[in-house]
Chain A
Amino acid sequence: METVLDDNRSGPSGQRIGGNLARAWLVLVLALVLGAALAAVQVHLSPIIAANKRNETLRQIPALVGLEPATLKPGSLEIRSGVFEVPANGTARFYRVFMVRLEGRLAGWVVKTAGQGYADRIEVLIGFDPGVTAITGLFILEQKETPGLGAKIALPSWRRQFVGKKTATRLTVVKGRSAGAGGIDAVSGATISSRSVVRIVNRTVHDLAGRLTPEAVRFAGGES
């Protein structure tokens, strides 16, 4: 034990680097072995995790466009997934959109969007009516906001405020109960998380309103 500590203090720097490498071999070997093990776990499990996320998204879609899944006739609901491209500042933004059709007629849209929250990225699903004139639902797919404060953005009681908001009006965060036409009451103690969601919604609405039509979406072949 003592010789090791002595080695650390003595010797020219060149020798010390070589010595440190020689002594750190265990860390390097472990990093390689554990890294390989993690890569194997990732390769094996990531398709299952992706499928879980996709299923969660698909389960939310009927409610987001204002439909009651239980009251629907089996087979009457058709969900097609596609990509919608919006030109923005010379580049393009891509949205994953789900077109919802009920008995062959367009019933609404669900759009997957995301943005920076207080702690980490927030992933949101937003439901729109067929003409993208009003919001019909909002769901938080992924968030890591502060538990007990910002995490309340995921609660139905808070999300319900977005339902029925017109896409022509820009949404703003208000504090207290004076929510007007475009007002969203902030989660108390979590103004930043609330503003983040509203900013994500506003940007998405700005990109999609008046542009999202079945013809403008590139649908994946055969996916339903």
Chain B
Amino acid sequence: MADQPTATERFVQGILPENPVYRQLLGLCSTLAVTNGLKPALTMAGAVGFVLLSANVIISLIRNLLKPHLRIVVFTLIIAAFVTMVDRFLAAYMYSMSKALGPYIPLIIVNCIIICRCEVCASRQSVFTAAADAVGQTAGFALALVSIAAVRELLGTGALAGVRVLPAAWPDWVVMVLPPGAFLTFGLLLALVNWVAARRGGGG
């Protein structure tokens, strides 16, 4: 246990070296589904961030009470409760966004990023480290979603966050906001991230 990463290391790792999307390839279902625009991408990142932080903190607080064969049940229970709260909150205060995201908010319950952080970090380390880990991973997740969404929304609709930025002459590549655009953009950005990492000698 002595060689566990510190809170700072956990925070920094989440952003790029262990980016949940680009390096761990977790949570891809929601990543591909909600990145057709910056607004849904940021909402999803916020929702995942809230659930991840809450789950990490609570699991870290009760980590000495966890039984090995019951830990996944406890993780799922806590995650599901917070996801339901986010879902209701969005339906109450961001109704049209809640309708646009549809089933992808409830599906955060089975998002591997969260259960992975509970297992790897929160169930073994202090509350402070677990919180730093959650913030770092959320930043990494948000960075990945925003980068994919920016490319897709810009090329697909000529706009960013709903505001037109490309000249009207730009022929909107509608395919970019459809599912194939998600795979194309994600594949190319993933290759770019790997290429940069390999050039720096990071490997991967």
Which residues does A use to contact B, with CB under 8 Å?
Answer: 1, 4-5, 8, 23-24, 26-27, 30-31, 34, 37-38, 41-42, 45-46, 48-49, 52, 56, 144, 147-148, 151
Looking at the complex, which of B6-14, B87-95, B155-163 is the stretch in contact with chain A? B87-95
B133 CB to closest chain A CB, in angstroms?
Answer: 21
Residue of A nearest to B106 (CB): A144
Are B95 and A56 in contact (CB-based, < 8 A)?
Answer: yes
Query: Given contacts A48-B93, A148-B179, is CB(A34)–CB(B77) below 8 Å?
Result: yes
Total residues of chain B contacting the partner, CB 8 A: 25
From B62, B68, B78, B88, A49 is in contact (CB under 8 Å) with B88
* Chain A residues in 8 Å Cβ range of B67: 4, 23, 26
A27 CB to closest chain B CB, in angstroms?
Answer: 6
Are B178 and A148 in contact (CB-based, < 8 A)?
Answer: yes
* Chain B residues in 8 Å Cβ range of A26: 62, 65-67, 70, 74
Are A52 and B81 in contact (CB-based, < 8 A)?
Answer: no
In the complex, B85 has a CB within 8 A of chain A:
yes
Are B65 and A52 in contact (CB-based, < 8 A)?
Answer: no
Are B78 and A30 in contact (CB-based, < 8 A)?
Answer: yes
B172 CB to closest chain A CB, in angstroms?
Answer: 17
Query: Given contacts A1-B68, A4-B69, A56-B95, is CB(A30)–CB(B77) below 8 Å?
Result: yes
Are A27 and B81 in contact (CB-based, < 8 A)?
Answer: no
**Alpha-carbon gap, A52 to B99, bound state (A):** 11
In the complex, B187 has a CB within 8 A of chain A:
no
Are B70 and A27 in contact (CB-based, < 8 A)?
Answer: yes
Q: 6 closest pairs, A vs B, by CB?
A: A34-B81, A48-B92, A52-B95, A45-B92, A49-B91, A45-B88
Residue of A nearest to B73 (CB): A27
A40 CB to closest chain B CB, in angstroms?
Answer: 10
From B77, B91, B95, A27 is in contact (CB under 8 Å) with B77
* Chain B residues in 8 Å Cβ range of A42: 88
Are B103 and A41 in contact (CB-based, < 8 A)?
Answer: no
Are A49 and B92 in contact (CB-based, < 8 A)?
Answer: yes
Residue of B nearest to A20 (CB): B70
* Chain B residues in 8 Å Cβ range of A5: 68-69
**Alpha-carbon gap, A157 to B33, bound state (A):** 22
In the complex, B84 has a CB within 8 A of chain A:
yes
**Alpha-carbon gap, A147 to B77, bound state (A):** 27
Query: Given contacts A23-B70, A30-B78, is CB(A147)–CB(B33) below 8 Å?
Result: yes
**Alpha-carbon gap, A24 to B81, bound state (A):** 18
Residue of B nearest to A45 (CB): B92
From A4, A27, A144, B103 is in contact (CB under 8 Å) with A144
Are B102 and A41 in contact (CB-based, < 8 A)?
Answer: no
Residue of A nearest to B91 (CB): A49
**Alpha-carbon gap, A1 to B71, bound state (A):** 13
* Chain B residues in 8 Å Cβ range of A4: 67-69
Question: Hey, what's the 0/1 contact readout for B93-109 against A, CB within 8 Å counting as 1?
Answer: 10100000011000000
* Chain B residues in 8 Å Cβ range of A30: 74, 77-78
